Structure 1
Amino acid sequence: MAVNGNGQRSAFYRLGVLAHRRRWIIIGIWIAALLAAGPLLGKLSTRLSQGGFAVPGSQSDAVQKAIEKDFPQQSTFSDTLVLHSTKLKASDPVFKATVARAVATLAKQPGVGSVLNPYISPERFVSRDGHTAIAIAGLTDTQSQALQHAPALDKAVKAAVGKVPINVYLAGSAPFYKQFQETTTSDLSRAERIAFPITLVILIVAFGSIVAAGVPLILALLGLAISLGIVSIIAATTTVSIFTENIMSMIGIGVGIDYSLFVLTRFRTELKKSGDVPDALGNAMATSGKAVLVSALTVFVALSGTLLVNIAAFRSMGLGAMVTVLLAGVGALTLLPAVLGALGPSIDKWSVHRRTTDASSGLWHRWATTVMRRPWIALIASVAVLLVLALPARGLRLGSSGPSILPAKSEVRVATELVGHAFGRGQTAPVRIIIDDPRGVLGTGFADVFKISQQIARDKEVTRVDSIATLDLRARTLKQAGAIKSLQQVKPFVAQITSADGRRTLISINTKHEAQSDQVGDFVKRLRASIPALLPRGVTANIGGDPGLNVDLNHELGSKMPLIVGLVMLLSYIVLLLFFRSILLPLKAILMNTASVLATYGVITWIFQEGHGQGLLSFVAPGHIESFLPLFLFCILFGLSMDYEVFLLARVREEYLRTGDNTEAVGWGLEHTAGIITSAAAIMVTVFGAFAFASLVPIKTMGLGLAVAVFLDATIVRVVLVPAAMRLMGHWNWWLPKWLDDILPNVSLEGGAEEVEREQVAAAV
């Protein structure tokens, strides 16, 4: 019985009884919340953003803001019309006529401001072999409008080309975002189709009852739906990344089922003992319910580290995951006991096989005893396995992929690769520089723009420089520079890359390599180090564009990682210290979780960076890991790894307080939890692993990474490393200095029961 030192029921016991007494009210509240979330779910996909990766205060952010303000025609939100033929050349009359029709058709479409005909500047927009031409279409649409219009634009230009042997594609921001959105939705649907049937089978095998199996799955989906509704409200007022929906689905289903699984298992055990539903609920909540709270709190704390990163998309993914975990935890502590109270003994209806919950078979106890008989061998062997798996992580490289994350046959990706092959990989995402000169860039400041343009052009990475100084290379003097503005053939271009007040000008640089490459990243760093020295006092230069953004993104994530890792570890330690009242157990948990995370990093590096298993998982290795993934994975994995640690330690502590024997407590603690942890882990691996079959490489990486981490945690860590370490630590597992015991707040939520526990632990130690 969960009672305190005065014979009173614990707070969690009373919560279980209250949930039974008010079960229909609680169920009604959750149903009302679900109905309220319904309309919001339909709006979520249109509110999610493909952007949000800007780093406020960075040079790339300053460049983008300047472009939006002073150079609207240069906005990165544009379409690129790509025409390619293996039979015809751009000089052929048929090719020219087709280009003219496609350009004219595109210019008439809603949301299109202007289209630059490639024949106006063929040296820039027609490939050297003559088989590819591109036309840049500036959009007047907002992002949501452009996504809505994208299919119509694509259909219109294809109709304009007709049956001529010319392939036509639309690339650029809007088509990419549209394809990204569609692929994300498709990936989510595919993952759900894979995960749900397998999860249901695992639950039926675990519980032996269709009703018992259905409860965790239904409640997890209900909690996820409400979570998505809440995030839809948030997305209406701030940037929420399109990745957030997939991440919430992964975590919401996995964690939601996990929490229900542990409480439901304990409820069935207690119900068979007493036959009294309120008492069974009370005891289940006083044990597994408390563990759910600690677990959810630990995951929530770990995910809170994502809020420290100054990147809107990253924070939104973390916030979405936090909302999901919060709803899963609250649901397991309120809705689940209410539903169990309503079902009562009917929870075992529609049994498919008889299953005993008696732990006397002792399989896991014997396993734990075997491990603890030679703890050093088990410890060294398990750590060695994790270290070997972690080795590839030494070469982990961060980067961003752009359209290359789309499926290989995606038209946007095909078009982008065509442009890269025909014009150079730096054509689609140039480095951009904003020069701000109070003297005027077409006045005294022109000489500095010319000097910078010439120096940039000499860099080995540069293929082309477009600036006011390269419109007419003879214009080296102030007098000649002033004449540029009046030359009819270049006047429109000057207006496009010079601000209305004449202070700012835009320089665009095409590079040999793609924006995400190390070579271009190093080039951006060289520019940022050298250009300021070429400018007089009062003149500033910001270097950005997609290449600059990648550099700033990697710097922001890399610089914040030590802080976030340290803070997450510290907060997790404090939570476990308060609830388990032990100095060493939280430290052990943190070290083991770190080992699991490093091993997971090694596996995803080996697969997704080095390319092992490309055929099996149907992807092309980009040669790097997406910038945001390692830090985000750390926050998720560190929290999720605590899940099984908390449930195992809670039961071990329960046995230790009962017997005072550390070895027996570990053995029987594992015996009582290993089976259900195995089922829970199998479900998590199924849910996360289903996302490994996604088309988008970042989602694929996230899914497989989480699946690997849970598998390692539930096998090597939980059933080998933990028993071995706890056997070696002995009674020191439960050591807490008296002075610290006296000042720590009582957060057990069990009233005087904590005093009894303190005395029992102190006596045992």
Structure 2
Amino acid sequence: MHRLADWVTRAPRQVLGIFAALLVLAVPLAVQAPGRMTASIGELPNAESTQVTALLRSEFGEQQLNTALLVVQPQAGQPAGARATALGEFREGLEDVPGVLSVQSASELGGLHPAGDGPELVAAQIPLYEGATEALRAVRRFAQTFEEERGLEIGVTGLQAIADDFTHYAESDTRRSELTAMPLIALVLLLVFGALVATGLPMVVGVVSITLTLATLYLLASWLNISTFTQSVVTMLGLGAGIDYALLMVSRFREELSRDLDSVQAAHTTMLTAGRSVTWSGATVAIAMAGLTVPPLAYVQSIGIGGVLAVGMTVLTSLTVLPALLTLLGERVNSPRRWAVRSGRLAELSPRWHAWAHRVMRRPWAWTLAGTALLALLAAPTLGMQTGYGGAWGLSAGIESRDALDDVRGLGAGGLLSQFEVILTLDRPYDPQHDAEAFRAVTENLRAVPGVQTVVSPFLSPEDLAGAGSGGQLDGLAAAMALNERSFAPGGEYLRVTVIPDRYLRSDEIDVIEPQLRAALDTGPFGFLLGGAPVGEREFSRAVMGALPGVMLSVFAATFILLLLAFRSLVVPVKSILLNGLTVAAATGAVTLALQGGPLGELLGFPPQADVVDAMLPLLLFSVMFGLSMDYEIFLISRVYEGVQAGLNNDEAVAQAVGRTARIITSAALIMLIVFAAFIAGRVVLTKSIGLGLAVAVLLDATLVRLVLVPAVLKLAGRWNWWLPGWLERRLPHLEVRH
């Protein structure tokens, strides 16, 4: 740290010149980065649904696995003939759209007949992965043009449309949140610092770190699939942690200036004190975000990589750009003078908070039990948490793919987006004489499962086959031939059946129907693999939730080691991990209440159909909040540690630490609260949920935990706070953390 401090304070213009050049290169890349992110969760290696998809491609030559559904609303009072003509022209034009593989009616997809005198349903098959987004954009452009020319209303939905709308609105939510939060943050900083120049510096740190991170993610997107929600996490960390660290650094610099040091000396001292705290704090946040790289899920790993990059860039900017600016500004950091306040006010001892800490420590058991009980009460709803993949219900009403899905459900065809694909496996080529009846029995058993609308197989009825064409005998024959082609692999060792439910399935409904389908398949003589979108969604959700314990243990272990090195204690790390974990659980409980029918959800605009907590949310909340809350822990405990090292008794060291950090912690928490709360107004449920969870967590952490539970627990532990076995003391390296 000494070498870095020497360089930054002796050559500040050189430092700023280097970063200015980097920003010139980074800005164009950062602007384009969101467009290279995706909402698709992809395929899980070796998962059953992945095996089914692979077999459909290799054995059945199936390419039509990505359906865009278009709901065509006719003009009021339009004659039947004109309506049929318009629909025919629409289908013909749709077939010529680049990227469209085929166009079908709902009946051609599986004997469904949703259309009557009302809206018509048309399905366009587009590529599954490569080129899917481009094809969907072309479909939407064609539909919009046809709307304008013919006066129709056309809504587009489907799994790709839902995923692309997730990407679009997650990006727009992030931009809007930034624009909403920035003025409010500036106002808080102005009230905290009392000077415009000092107010602008934390904003600079946040913007620079976010820009550099997004530019790096743009480059990484050439090799990795980067999740859409990475942008939201980067923004939250860049603004929240960046402004947090700058608040600490700038307040310490102003404190040093008040001691008659020149700007170079003040910035150098700031680097060696507050700079060390920023480094340690950044390390704890990075450890928590790195936990997301533990699960073998590329979608989750990309968020972890983005989080680690955001924290790294924030710490780097805080330790280079910020002290370089402070060195050049000197006393001008307090300009304009008419708004300047006493420089060291944030860091000086607050008599009110000092007295409050002593009041808490006079009754430590009462405060500990009451505070813990409150957090446990807030965390209780997590016991009834239902997790899953939100799908279309993860979008707010008013978004095209979500609204069009409501229309599709009204037509009785919602199950087209929740199809189960069944591959029956034989140990020899299919023999119609011996296997046909068993194959028919399997399809009938599947059809009998409650909630199944139809089963696409070679055994569809003549009425179904006639409905798949235009009604003629020749059309029925062509449909029968098509069904046979899709149902039997050329080698004869695989059979295919498609199960279409009677509705679009929510995550909790998949859990009901999937076991019944497996039970029906178990009655037959064939082996089987069950796939399709519902199975893939459940596999992803289970993989995410299954990874949560491993992520938590990894983060706990790494954080324990870091705090052990920082504070040379076995008790402090355990206390910190328990309290932070309880805070995250309480925040997750609040989100669970909002999403699963609580009045808070209706008040904040959560869609009532969501009804499940996205499986990603507990993982994201834990990683982001556990790391950020360690900022406050290090700010507070490092002051306690300094007091103990200086010879203060335990109670006075704790009271002075609270008195000296309470203003900084509450100011930083207010800024973080603004950043996170801005995301609650978004239109993507996962983004709203993260914003709500983090806002609740930071509110609890900066008040109940830091100002009540930590002083009370430190009082109860007494001299044991700093207990470390002699053999371990001799083996640990000596590191320094202070601010």
Deviation at 1:125, TM superposition (A): 4.1
Match of 2:501 in 1: 511
Aligned mate of 2:441, from 448, 451, 465: 451
2:424 partner SS? strand
Counterpart check, 1:660 vs 2:652: no
User: Cα gap change, 1:243/1:362 in structure 2, threshold over 3 Å: closer, same or farther?
Assistant: same
Deviation at 1:87, TM superposition (A): 6.0
Q: How does 1:102-181 map to 2 (within 5 A)?
A: 102-118=90-106, 123-127=111-115, 130-140=117-127, 142-159=131-148, 162-163=150-151, 167-181=153-167
CA distance in 2, matches of 1:243, 1:116: 34
Q: CA RMSD in A?
A: 2.7
- 1:94-126 CA deviation, whole Å, 9 max, x = no partner? 432232122112112222222114576795143
- 1:720-747 CA deviation, whole Å, 9 max, x = no partner? 1111111111111111111110112334
2:736 partner SS? coil
**Which piece of structure 1 moves more, 648-657 or 681-690?**
648-657
Match of 1:618 in 2: 605
Q: How does 1:662-741 map to 2 (within 5 A)?
A: 662-741=650-729
CA distance in 1, matches of 2:435, 2:221: 44
User: Cα gap change, 1:120/1:369 in structure 2, threshold over 3 Å: closer, same or farther?
Assistant: closer
Match of 1:309 in 2: 295
Aligned mate of 2:624, from 627, 636, 651: 636
> What letter corresponds to residue 51 of structure 2 in structure 1?
A
CA distance in 2, matches of 1:555, 1:180: 21
Match of 1:341 in 2: 327
- 1:255-274 CA deviation, whole Å, 9 max, x = no partner? 11111111221111112114
> What letter corresponds to residue 619 of structure 1 in structure 2?
F
**Which piece of structure 1 moves more, 338-347 or 571-580?**
338-347
Q: Which runs of 5+ in 2 are unaligned?
A: 466-473
2:411 partner SS? helix
Match of 2:469 in 1: none
Counterpart check, 1:560 vs 2:547: yes
CA distance in 2, matches of 1:533, 1:123: 25
Match of 1:574 in 2: 561
User: Cα gap change, 1:605/1:432 in structure 2, threshold over 3 Å: closer, same or farther?
Assistant: same
- 1:551-600 CA deviation, whole Å, 9 max, x = no partner? 21222122222222112111111110111111100111011001101110
CA contact (8 A) 1:212 1:347 kept: yes
CA distance in 2, matches of 1:251, 1:445: 60
- 1:378-435 CA deviation, whole Å, 9 max, x = no partner? 1122112212211222211102222222231222212111112221542322111123
1:55 partner SS? coil
Aligned mate of 1:61, from 25, 42, 50: 50
Deviation at 1:277, TM superposition (A): 2.4
CA contact (8 A) 2:49 2:531 kept: yes
CA contact (8 A) 1:498 1:506 kept: yes
CA contact (8 A) 1:304 1:322 kept: yes
- 1:505-525 CA deviation, whole Å, 9 max, x = no partner? 432112245333423223223
Match of 1:755 in 2: none
CA distance in 2, matches of 1:223, 1:133: 50
**Which piece of structure 1 moves more, 145-154 or 294-303?**
145-154
CA contact (8 A) 1:53 1:311 kept: no
CA distance in 2, matches of 1:674, 1:506: 65
1:463 partner SS? strand
CA distance in 1, matches of 2:179, 2:737: 40
**Which piece of structure 1 moves more, 372-381 or 682-691?**
372-381
User: Cα gap change, 1:252/1:167 in structure 2, threshold over 3 Å: closer, same or farther?
Assistant: same
Aligned mate of 1:527, from 517, 524, 528: 517
- 1:68-100 CA deviation, whole Å, 9 max, x = no partner? 4455655332321212459679x9334322321
**Which piece of structure 1 moves more, 544-553 or 404-413?**
404-413
- 1:131-178 CA deviation, whole Å, 9 max, x = no partner? 243121122571342254244122133246x23xx6422222443344
TM-score, normalised with respect to structure 2: 0.92
- 1:318-365 CA deviation, whole Å, 9 max, x = no partner? 211111011111221222222212222221122453423353551211
CA distance in 1, matches of 2:109, 2:40: 31
CA contact (8 A) 1:82 1:132 kept: yes
> What letter corresponds to residue 393 of structure 1 in structure 2?
T
User: Cα gap change, 1:150/1:19 in structure 2, threshold over 3 Å: closer, same or farther?
Assistant: farther
User: Cα gap change, 1:429/1:52 in structure 2, threshold over 3 Å: closer, same or farther?
Assistant: same
- Percent identical among aligned pairs is 30
CA contact (8 A) 1:15 1:282 kept: no
Match of 2:200 in 1: 214
Match of 2:172 in 1: 186
- 1:151-210 CA deviation, whole Å, 9 max, x = no partner? 4122133246x23xx642222244334433332232122211210000001111111111
CA distance in 1, matches of 2:157, 2:256: 61
User: Cα gap change, 1:68/1:291 in structure 2, threshold over 3 Å: closer, same or farther?
Assistant: farther
User: Cα gap change, 1:205/1:442 in structure 2, threshold over 3 Å: closer, same or farther?
Assistant: farther
User: Cα gap change, 1:337/1:445 in structure 2, threshold over 3 Å: closer, same or farther?
Assistant: farther
CA distance in 1, matches of 2:729, 2:250: 33
CA distance in 2, matches of 1:131, 1:106: 20
Aligned mate of 2:253, from 261, 264, 267: 267
CA distance in 2, matches of 1:157, 1:439: 51
Match of 1:231 in 2: 217
**Which piece of structure 1 moves more, 679-688 or 40-49?**
40-49
> What letter corresponds to residue 213 of structure 1 in structure 2?
T
CA contact (8 A) 1:446 1:469 kept: no
Aligned mate of 2:423, from 434, 455, 480: 434
> What letter corresponds to residue 531 of structure 1 in structure 2?
L
Q: How does 1:458-497 map to 2 (within 5 A)?
A: 458-470=448-460, 488-497=478-487
CA contact (8 A) 1:13 1:281 kept: no
Deviation at 1:533, TM superposition (A): 6.3
CA contact (8 A) 1:105 1:156 kept: no
> What letter corresponds to residue 684 of structure 1 in structure 2?
M
2:227 partner SS? coil
CA distance in 2, matches of 1:453, 1:488: 21
Counterpart check, 1:48 vs 2:42: no
> What letter corresponds to residue 45 of structure 2 in structure 1?
P
CA distance in 2, matches of 1:366, 1:736: 30
**Which piece of structure 1 moves more, 490-499 or 373-382?**
490-499
> What letter corresponds to residue 467 of structure 1 in structure 2?
S
**Which piece of structure 1 moves more, 325-334 or 40-49?**
40-49
CA contact (8 A) 1:393 1:601 kept: yes
CA contact (8 A) 1:437 1:445 kept: no
1:273 partner SS? coil
> What letter corresponds to residue 309 of structure 1 in structure 2?
P
Q: Which runs of 5+ in 1 are unaligned?
A: 1-11, 476-483, 751-765
Deviation at 1:700, TM superposition (A): 0.4
CA distance in 2, matches of 1:564, 1:215: 35
Match of 2:468 in 1: none
User: Cα gap change, 1:366/1:340 in structure 2, threshold over 3 Å: closer, same or farther?
Assistant: same
Counterpart check, 1:745 vs 2:733: yes
CA distance in 2, matches of 1:122, 1:299: 51
User: Cα gap change, 1:361/1:598 in structure 2, threshold over 3 Å: closer, same or farther?
Assistant: closer
> What letter corresponds to residue 16 of structure 2 in structure 1?
I
Match of 1:649 in 2: 637
Counterpart check, 1:248 vs 2:238: no
CA distance in 1, matches of 2:147, 2:464: 42
> What letter corresponds to residue 329 of structure 2 in structure 1?
L
